[in-house]
Chain A
């Protein structure tokens, strides 16, 4: 196909995607729409997140994500957000950038090198990141990745625009959502249920999260009470139904 036709296709794709965002009614819809449209460019994973201030935890500021199972836990547990070179560059630029453009010194910044290296274990080898600088000092980013990306001067403008509108739609929908739902379960209770949904026993989950089996069971019991569920299976079903967890 001639270049000009391809470029036109990206534009058409971008505008159709943006126009379609208005019809989405939940944050999950945004995850699905982004996953579908961005896969055309080779993206497999993405996260939209606020940038935590020193007192906030990473888990508290995440808006949406489609991240590989396990990576989120590692990232949160290791507190990689404080050393991630992608996050650092986000704070210092208004322009979108490729992950490979985010500078760090592998000799002196061991943890920065570690997060970039371990991400590749989860097929997060290349990436593209859009910083968001809003009003009243609001800072966020939309970071997306995969193993074989179609990033070029022809695709980037379309991606840039799509990412910006997708972020805004997610922000609007999350703002409109009653605050009761996300705070019903604690992050640990949600994690315990997500692993239960993946077929893991309390012992397995304890292993994965680096906590004892007894603590995992306590989180599950607590989640059951909050969800008025008689057992773990019903708690998982309800958490999915109420969109408190996602698989």
Chain B
């Protein structure tokens, strides 16, 4: 069965191989499948400036195999929406220590028909609720919006759709709520806590440098 693991700076030594696999899968999905050539790297690992100690990964792992993943990054630090896609947030860019940016979401090809999607989406709501994160920001392809809405996510557009790599995309803010978690958990067939946190529990927010200024 697929479990969603929380990986941070603190416990990433436990996930060395899985993280390597995750970066390779990102290259397969985003560069080879989606054709985002700017992300191409000769070593076949898609890693960018935000893959550092401030990132949190929620990886879907089934029997030692990564089948999907997503990344969270503090918006008080320079992040993708502030540095690269700022023009897409014409209504203003939410930045606060309780707001994280949500990027590099994917499910591997052979799992796209099942419940892995809903599990990853449930995991992000659950993790944020536990950590006191109130909102996520993201750039997403427009055709994804109904999927988020149908799993109960509350999505606020930050601007009009803009073409990115030939696809209309939008900058959006997603409100974290127990209601959304309940809705998506029901669709994912999940009950109770389901996040795996292999480490001494320490709030992930504690290590975020609060240095917006």
Q: Which residues on A are within 8 Å of B, measured CB to CB?
A: 10-11, 14-15, 18, 94-96, 131-135, 138, 157-158, 160-161, 164-165, 167-168, 171
Q: Which 3 A-B pairs have the closest CB atoms?
A: A94-B143, A157-B161, A157-B160
| Secondary structure type dominating chain A contacts | helix
Which chain A positions have C-beta within 8 A of B147? Answer: 133-135
A18 to B167, CA, bound (A): 22
A164 and B142 contact, CB distance less than 8 A: yes
CB < 8 Å: which of A131, A134, A158 contacts B150? A134
A157 and B168 contact, CB distance less than 8 A: yes
Residue of B141, B150, B170 most packed against chain A (CB within 10 A): B150
Which chain B positions have C-beta within 8 A of A138? Answer: 150
A sample of 23 cross-chain residue pairs with beta-carbon separation below 8 angstroms, ordered by A number, consists of A10-B160, A11-B160, A14-B160, A18-B157, A94-B141, A95-B143, A95-B167, A131-B143, A133-B147, A134-B147, A134-B150, A135-B117, A135-B147, A135-B151, A138-B150, A158-B160, A160-B142, A160-B161, A161-B157, A161-B161, A164-B145, A167-B146, A168-B146
| Secondary structure type dominating chain B contacts | mixed
Q: Does B52 contact A (CB under 8 A)?
A: no
A135 to B90, CA, bound (A): 29
A11 to B90, CA, bound (A): 9
From 135 to 185 in chain B, residues with beta carbon under 8 angstroms from any chain A beta carbon are: 141-143, 145-147, 149-151, 157, 159-162, 167-168, 170
A15 to B172, CA, bound (A): 12
A132 to B142, CA, bound (A): 10
Residue of B90, B141, B146 most packed against chain A (CB within 10 A): B146
A194 to B117, CA, bound (A): 43
A134 and B170 contact, CB distance less than 8 A: no
B182-195 CB mask vs A (1 if < 8 Å, else 0) is: 00000100000000
**Smallest CB-CB separation from A172: which chain B residue?**
B149
10 other A-B residue contacts (CB within 8 Å) besides A96-B168, A134-B147, A164-B142: A10-B160, A11-B160, A95-B143, A134-B146, A134-B150, A138-B150, A157-B161, A161-B161, A168-B145, A168-B146
Which chain B positions have C-beta within 8 A of A10? Answer: 160
Q: Does B118 contact A (CB under 8 A)?
A: yes
Which chain A positions have C-beta within 8 A of B151? Answer: 135
Which chain A positions have C-beta within 8 A of B146? Answer: 132-134, 164, 167-168
Residue of A15, A96, A133 most packed against chain B (CB within 10 A): A15
A138 to B91, CA, bound (A): 31
A133 and B143 contact, CB distance less than 8 A: yes
Which chain B positions have C-beta within 8 A of A15? Answer: 91, 157
Which chain B positions have C-beta within 8 A of A157? Answer: 160-162, 168
**Smallest CB-CB separation from B159: which chain A residue?**
A11
Q: How far is the CB of A198 from chain B (nearest CB, A)?
A: 35
CB < 8 Å: which of B91, B150, B161 contacts A135? B150
Which chain B positions have C-beta within 8 A of A18? Answer: 157
Which chain B positions have C-beta within 8 A of A96? Answer: 168
B118 and A135 contact, CB distance less than 8 A: yes
A131 to B168, CA, bound (A): 13
Q: How far is the CB of B123 from chain A (nearest CB, A)?
A: 16
Q: How far is the CB of A89 from chain B (nearest CB, A)?
A: 14
A94 to B143, CA, bound (A): 6
A160 and B168 contact, CB distance less than 8 A: yes
Q: How far is the CB of B190 from chain A (nearest CB, A)?
A: 15
**Smallest CB-CB separation from B151: which chain A residue?**
A135
B35-76 CB mask vs A (1 if < 8 Å, else 0) is: 000000000000000000000000000000000000000000
